[in-house]
Amino acid sequence: MRLLTAGESHGIGLIGVLEGLPAGAQIDIDRINADLERRQRGYGRGDRQKIESDTVTVMSGLNGGTTLASPVAYFISNRDYANWTDVMSPEWGDISLKKLSRVRPGHADLAGIKKYGFGDNARPVLERASARETAARVAGGSMCRQVLEQVGVTIEGEVLHVCGIEDVEAQHAAIDKAREDGDTLGGEVRVTVKGMPVGVGSYVEYDRRLDALYAFYLMGINAVKAVGIGMGSKLSYLKGSEAHDEIFADGRHTNRAGGIDAGMSNGEDIVLTVSFKPIPTLMNGLRTVDVSTGEETTAATERSDVCVVEAAVVVTESVVAIATLKALLDTFGGDTMEELRRRMDERRKA
Ligand code: EPS
């Protein structure tokens, strides 16, 4: 199973093609739209979300809400395109009309223009590097999550902290202060996968390890700088006698490993922690160089989010859903939901 997305932040819209869903799964479009709506919410989001009202149009691969095994193609419109047509139209747009040359530290701008030869205009870079693309991953992940629920696997996410602050009211106060200061804040999200059978993934080859797959998918989310499994980096501070989950006749009593041993699910909940850096577009621009003139200056100040950590919960859950379903299909196969369910039930009884 794989997901490809396309679309620029201020282009016509976002597209996804989700290929490899088994036949016979039920997909509720309203639930996809509810997840898209969750992505638009969250304390600290910017004004773009007042313009957009993300809804998905599924174009193929479903009939009457049931998967046909063929690729599911879908579209999410960018309402803001109406204001950007002169710049972004694929036929007659002129991307130089919205030139950005005061490149933002921490953003794709500088490396992107050098890589693709865009001279002194980072606009084509940031249009695709923007986290707007995560809407396409949320829609695809929402479908995967619905398939997972039909085989007894559920996914739940939560904010652990915003810039080290755990209390929600104090988080909001810190976000208000960052907005006043023209600054941005990061944080951490935890996602738990429940109901995974034992032995998903494999120790036999590095690229079949379940922890490697989660790390790959999660590091692919914009602004993610670290991924932890179970106690993650904290395990490196413990002795072996403190770190491992001992096994008793009635199973394990702890889950420090986060449900994965040696690249395989061990039957416990899978616990993933994802660290988001602060968004690199600061209204109080950081020091940088204008690539048009070579002069030192301050970075461009696009409209921006102050904090995306709350919105990142649904993005992280969705990406975990994509990776989890891919891993299950790689381990158990299944052209149909009935086949997948049967093989998973056999493993659960083993
Ligand atoms: C986003 C849409 C973007 C940004 C943000 C995420 O909209 P605009 O650029 O029109 O304000 O708000 O993108 C970034 C954080 C970024 O660095 O580009 C969205 O829909 O999530």
Does 245 contact ligand 1 (Cβ within 6 A)? Answer: no
Residues 264, 73 contacting (CB under 8 angstroms): no
Q: Within 10 A of 335 (CB to CB), how many other CB atoms are there?
A: 12
Closest C-alpha residue for ligand 1 atom 2: 132
Bridge partners of 58, per DSSP, are: 74
Helix (H, G, I), strand (E, B) or coil at 292: coil
Chain segment 176-225, per-residue pLDDT in tens:
999 999 999 999 999 999 999 999 999 999 999 999 999 999 999 999 99
Cβ atoms within 10 Å, residue 182: 13
| CA of residue 306 to ligand 1 center, whole Å | 11
Give the closest residue (by CA) to ligand 1 atom 8: 48
Q: Which two tokens stand for residue 301?
A: 């100040």
Closest CA to 332 of 130, 94, 153: 153
Structure confidence by residue, pLDDT tens digits, 25-79 = 999 999 999 999 999 999 999 999 999 999 999 999 999 999 999 999 999 999 9
Which neighbouring-strand residues pair with 265? 260
Q: pLDDT band for 95, please (50, 70, 90 cuts).
A: very high
CB of residue 132 inside a 6 A radius of ligand 1: yes
Assess whether pLDDT exceeds 90 at residue 334. no
Ligand 1 atom at minimal distance to the Cα of residue 104: 17
64: CA distance to ligand 1 center in Å? 34
Separation of 92 CA from ligand 1 center, angstroms? 24
Look at ligand 1, atom 19, and give the residue with the nearest C-alpha.
132
Which pLDDT tens digit goes with each residue over 229-262? Answer: 999 999 999 999 999 999 999 999 999 999 999 9
286 and 299 in contact (C-beta within 8 Å)? yes
pLDDT digits (tens, 9 = 90+) for 135-145: 999 999 999 99
**pLDDT at residue 332, rounded to an integer:** 98
Q: What is the pLDDT of residue 255?
A: 98
Mean pLDDT across 103-127: 98
Separation of CA 302 and ligand 1 centre (Å): 9
Q: Of all atoms in ligand 1, which is nearest to the CA of residue 46? A: 12
pLDDT of residue 302: 73
Q: How far is the CA of 213 from the centre of ligand 1 (A)?
A: 27
Distance (Å, whole) CA 140 – CA 237: 38
Name the nearest CA neighbour of 132 among 219, 50, 30, 39: 39
303 lines ligand 1 (CB under 6 A): yes
Q: Which atom of ligand 1 is nearest to the CA of 303?
A: 11
For residue 350, the CA-to-ligand 1 centroid distance in Å is 47
Q: Outline where 25-108 has alpha helix (H).
A: 29-40, 48-51, 85-88
Q: What angle do CA 146, 148, 153 make, to 5 degrees?
A: 125
Mean pLDDT of 17-23: 98
Query: Which residues are registered as beta bridge partners of 250?
Result: none
Instruction: Give the ligand 1 atom nearest the CA of 54.
Output: 20
Torsion over CA of 234, 236, 237 and 241, rounded to 10 degrees? 110
Query: Is the CB of residue 146 less than 8 Å from the CB of residue 154?
Result: no
- Confidence band for 315, pLDDT divided at 50, 70 and 90: very high
State the Cα–Cα distance between residues 228 and 218, nearest whole angstrom: 10
CA 96–ligand 1 middle distance (angstroms): 19
Among protein residues, the one with the nearest Cα to ligand 1's atom 12 is 304
- According to the model, what pLDDT value does residue 307 have? 97
Ligand 1 within 6 A of CB of 131: yes
Residue type at 121 in one-letter notation = N
For ligand 1, atom 20, which residue shows the shortest CA distance?
132
User: At 165, phi and psi to the nearest 5?
Assistant: -100, 125
d(CA 197, CA 181): 48
The CB density around residue 28, as the number of other CB atoms within 10 Å, is: 12
Residue 132 has pLDDT above 90, yes or no: yes
Q: Which residue has the tokens 């691969």?
A: 61
Residue 48 Cβ inside 6 Å of ligand 1? The answer reads yes
Ligand 1 geometric centre to CA of 111 (Å): 19
d(CA 7, CA 47): 20
- Strands (DSSP E) found in 138-223: 154-162, 187-194
Q: Measured in angstroms, how far is the CA atom of residue 121 from the centroid of ligand 1?
A: 18
